[in-house]
Amino acid sequence: MDIALFARHTDYEWEIAPHGAMRVPAVIYADEALIRAMDHKVYEQVCNVATLPGIVKASYAMPDAHWGYGFPIGGVAAFDPDDGGVVSAGGVGFDISCGVRCLHTGLNTEDVMAVQKMLADTLYREIPAGLGSTGAIRLNQSEMDAMLAGGAAWAVKQGHGSAADLDHIEEHGQMRGARPDCVSEHAKKRQRDEMGTLGSGNHYLEVQKVVRVFDTRAAEAFGIRENDVVVSIHCGSRGLGHQIGTEFLKEMVTAASHYGIMLPDRELACAPINSPLGENYLGAMRAAINCALANRQILTHLVREVFSQVIPKARLPLLYDVSHNTCKAEEHVVDGKRRKLYVHRKGATRAFGPGHPDIPDILRAVGQPVLIGGSMGTGSYILVGTKQGEALSFSSACHGAGRAMSRHQAYKTWKGRQVIDELAARGILIRSPSGRGVAEEAPGAYKDVSAVVDAADAAGLARKVARLEPLVCIKG
């Protein structure tokens, strides 16, 4: 992007003044090199979001921002329902509540390297992965509705985990206000056989080693040390979330004129929060959040079973689970007043700072863990939310490295076998049902995750705690 389009507030905060139909400014948090490398579409999209009714303070983009559907991936915006604020299906995205969870193992790198190949092969055999993959669980109508209302709490009741897990998941594992009756039968049918599956695209399961700790106090609170091994799971609400997004986008596009909403881009289809359509979408979206939480919980159970076979001494308590692609009702202080807002995070992570009441007691003193996903061959990070983030971005941070090139371009650039062999030479074992998928997700297709995380840290959105590197990756 052209750096001249921005007013530079700091080395990491760049503002676009309101112009045209924009109601508020747009703000991008990144360093100059990341800004210059961003597609101009990010500029257009973050400005378009700023035109939506009821938006509060600004339209934001995180350091990993790239071109998305309607909102940029890495986009954040809050809306006030009492000021005509809207909820946007495009602003949430298709993979509703796609997110990351991180598990301790109680193991060190040497423990895992001794059985690395066996662990990779067993995980690949037991974790359903890939486009259209199905799991062993089949849900009938009443079980489906119970899952959509109960989330990870439902999964735990079915024997997939323990009650202790729920304290380490956003919303304590159950998104309130879910409305299974607002989810179409077609969406439920798509999900019937997909519980406990990883999916495809950028979804993965990685066994990772902690290679560096930056913040000893926070790392100690999170229970992580250098040379520890952890497991990270990245996936979402599978076919159900995609179907909900597809259906409500069409409905919101058609209804926009009825609500007097001028859409700068039909991909920003939205409805007033205080409207029947807005309320129905929120009910369905919350059900999809529960689907994603239940899915990651079942996958966690499967991972624990694999480790019990391969390394019986392993114990896998949950460090934390964070969602991306959500719209959540939260209280934030704006101009000295506490207001209830609906915060969209599209490819962005909630990052509550120390003391926030929604953080588990055991973590509250240091802040919420912020899990930054990697890309097979590059690192991942664990960050922690800051007090400063509340004023900067409604307590939001980046969610990954962010794509540097399209999947199509990546597929033209690499072959799956080539990527797998190159990573194996570096000691990273990849297992995937799709060579094309591996090529599309090649590490080189992503931005430098360290540059993205450094920018988030320097901007004050979240603070670095630890860097992780992969040992084994099951790629969807």
| 140-144, 217-221, 299-303, 373-377: range with lowest mean pLDDT | 373-377
What's the mean pLDDT in 281-291? 98
pTM (2 d.p.): 0.96
Mean pLDDT of 322-339: 96
Q: State residue 134's pLDDT score.
A: 87
The predicted pLDDT at position 201 comes to: 86
In this prediction, residue 167 carries a pLDDT of: 95
pLDDT over threshold 90, residue 476: no
Instruction: Place 402 in a pLDDT band, splitting at 50, 70 and 90.
Output: confident
In this prediction, residues 350-375 reach a mean pLDDT of 94
Binding residues for Mn(2+): 95, 203, 234, 324
For position 286, what pLDDT does the model report?
98
Host domain of residue 251: 3-475
Number of structural domains the chain divides into: 1
**Average pLDDT, stretch 28-48?**
96
Q: What is the pLDDT of residue 70?
A: 94
Domain of 106, CATH number, reads 3.90.1860.10
pLDDT at 130: 83
| Range scoring the smallest mean pLDDT among 19-33, 127-141, 290-304, 370-384 | 127-141
Task: Write out pLDDT tens, residues 88-143.
Answer: 999 999 999 999 999 999 999 999 999 999 999 999 999 999 887 888 899 999 99
Confidence of residue 212 (pLDDT cuts 50, 70, 90): very high
Task: Pick the catalytic residue from 104, 168, 344, 399.
Answer: 399
> Binding site for GMP: what residues are annotated?
202-206, 324-325, 373-376, 380, 399-402, 475
Q: Assess whether 104 carries a catalytic annotation.
A: no
The predicted pLDDT at position 183 comes to: 98
Q: Mean pLDDT throughout 444-469?
A: 96
pLDDT band at 195 (very low <50, low <70, confident <90, very high): very high
Is the pLDDT at 233 greater than 90? The verdict is yes
Q: Which residues contact 245 (CB under 8 A, 6 or more apart)?
A: 89, 92, 93, 94, 95, 96
Question: Using one digit for the tens of pLDDT, what is the confidence trace for 168-189?
Answer: 999 999 999 999 999 999 999 9
Which whole number is the average pLDDT over 138-150? Answer: 96
For 9-18, how does the pLDDT look when each residue is reduced to its tens digit (9 = 90+)?
999 999 999 9
Q: Which residues are annotated as a binding site?
A: 95, 202-206, 234, 324-325, 373-376, 380, 399-402, 475
